[in-house]
Structure 1
């Protein structure tokens, strides 16, 4: 096994989920790292869409925000934000929505709004952005989130983006057009919804992780899938590509900070 951190393993495991000419609506942070890694390794025809209107962007570094110039500079085209949602997302042209969040519950519902009561929160988070629409309309959703009992919670402090509501077909009955969260990639392995209850269950572990570790990091009684897979360790090629991407990003952002206004 190549020496790697859990963050690297998590990013590489997420990148492997993306294949071919998949059209992917990308969130900033870990989702962006995973999507760009996939594009730089096994899925060069991947089409990345960012909320700012950049379509088919092929940036050499990771953006700090959806408004970073490198997204527009390397995009196939840039369209107004309303068109991204109406002509692409709501029209059913997005295969995968790749999201992060502050909290997730057992049915894949997400919170990126507040920690604590809405009117008197302990922490005011960045907010919804386009996540509710992405979660609603994308053909499937992947979520990347480091696991702890503060992030994988029995009950959300606020439901920002819909997963499977209360499960057992509730999403389908609501009329939500998208497929919902099909994978949750964590720093111990991967969760996916049970076919009937739609409750997230453990489906795969990193080779150096355990079921006990996974259960200790989740704030509800975590169920196991009938088949529990082992996620292959990162290859040297995957690790080298990810680390080179991170190094280019650090250097680019450091140069930007040094440029006098």
Structure 2
């Protein structure tokens, strides 16, 4: 548990992310925090929300205590609305049927670009990462929500490689690059909720979590953040949100820390 309250950082990420989702949306989610957040939203305030898996499952039925370890795992298909080829899932994206995409990465920069390819010099990287998968398609065509721990090594001025584009180099550079839809919507961390300035497209703080100072957020960020002097506080997770979350993940596979 965190020292700030009676919930873990991962539970905080799931709850804050769930609050950003709305009834009727189609959400591209992966396993872990994204799936927990989307299912939590379904249970509490968005019963008409549809979850879409990259593996081809539309509307998976999440059994409490039996969270799938992968979007390609067979238990994802049980009682699902539909199962389709992966290529058809990408066609749904390209046709504009998907509203929200959940993403993550090893690095994110001030314009919301994500790196999940490698750390360091491309000719001699320090660390090789999983790569794109469908990340580029998702970030190019949907409104993006990123949920990740807030660390200086992750929040960098410029990512080593753009695996999944945010607002590229700011301003209208995303549209000028041919990406006329979607974009980075929110970044949810264990310290704050962040958005992007509508003109410069640079990251800014929209809300500080309980017990977190503006200085703490800036100290854990590798570039200057705009933090308004009157920045509001987010509401801490409520007991019913935590109860549903813990019912979904009773073994704390994804929410222990």
Question: Same fold per TM (> 0.5)?
Answer: yes
How far apart are residue 126 of structure 1 and its match? Answer: 1.1
Which secondary structure does the structure 2 equivalent of 1:122 belong to? strand
Per-residue deviation, 1:228 = 1.7
Gaps of 5+ in 2: none
89, 92, 95: which one pairs with 2:93?
Answer: 89
- In 2, the alpha carbon distance for the partners of 1:17 and 1:40 equals 14
1:110 paired to 2:114 = yes
Count residues in correspondence.
248
In the alignment, is the contact (CA less than 8 A) between 2:156 and 2:223 conserved in 1?
yes
**Match of 1:231, SS?**
coil
In proportion to residue count, which structure has more helix?
1
Deviations 1:37-92 (A, max 9, x none): 21222222210000000001122143211112221113100000101111x10000
Per the TM alignment, residue 245 of structure 1 is displaced from its structure 2 partner at its CA by 1.2
Indicate the RMSD between aligned Cα atoms, in angstroms.
1.6
- Measured after TM superposition, the shift of residue 229 of structure 1 is 2.1
Please give the alpha-carbon distance, in whole angstroms, between the structure 1 residues aligned to 2:54 and 2:73: 11
1:207 is displaced (CA, Å) by 1.6
- Change in Cα spacing, 1:56 to 1:225, as seen in structure 2 (3 Å) is farther
* Deviation (angstroms), 1:246: 1.3
List gaps (5 residues or longer) in structure 1.
251-261
Q: Is the 8 A contact 1:108 1:162 kept in 2?
A: yes
- Identify which of 242, 247, 250 aligns with 2:250: 247
Within 1, Cα distance between the matches of 2:147 and 2:228? 19
* 1:39 partnered with 2:47: no
Match of 2:173 in 1: 170
Aligned residues of 1:31 and 1:100 also touching (Cα < 8 A)? no
TM-score (norm. length: structure 1)? 0.90
2:160 paired residue among 157, 162, 166: 157
